[in-house]
């Protein structure tokens, strides 16, 4: 059982890294914030399309990864 959870944890971890790397870069926003050029820095902007889907997938995979890690820890301690 622990081996199955460990395998799922590794696979989800790799997929999570890929999902994070596929998200659009926020580098220009960070540069504007440091230089003082961003007037819309604190405005709430809703993500749309691909960005919204990737945020949702990343959050779900992160939650599953965390739960599997905790479950594996509990199984290893018994």
Q: Assess contact for 76 and 2: CB atoms under 8 A.
A: yes
Q: Assess contact for 16 and 72: CB atoms under 8 A.
A: no
- ∠5-6-7 over CA atoms, to 5°? 90
Tell me the per-residue pLDDT of 21-35, one tens digit each, with 9 for 90 and over.
998 876 665 566 666
HSE-up of 72 (CA within 13 Å, CB side)? 15
Rounded to 10°, the helix 50-77/2-22 angle is 160
Tell me the per-residue pLDDT of 8-24, one tens digit each, with 9 for 90 and over.
999 999 999 999 999 88
pTM over 0.85? The answer is no
13: burial class by Cβ within 10 Å (0-12, 13-18, 19+)?
middle
């Amino acid at each position: 059982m622990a081996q199955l959870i460990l395998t799922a944890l590794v696979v989800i971890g790799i997929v999570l890294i890929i999902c994070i790397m596929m998200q659009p870069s926020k580098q220009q926003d960070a540069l504007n914030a440091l230089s003082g050029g961003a007037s819309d820095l604190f405005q709430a902007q809703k993500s749309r399309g691909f960005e919204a889907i990737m945020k949702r997938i990343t959050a779900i995979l992160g939650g599953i990864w965390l739960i599997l890690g905790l479950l594996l820890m509990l199984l290893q301690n018994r």
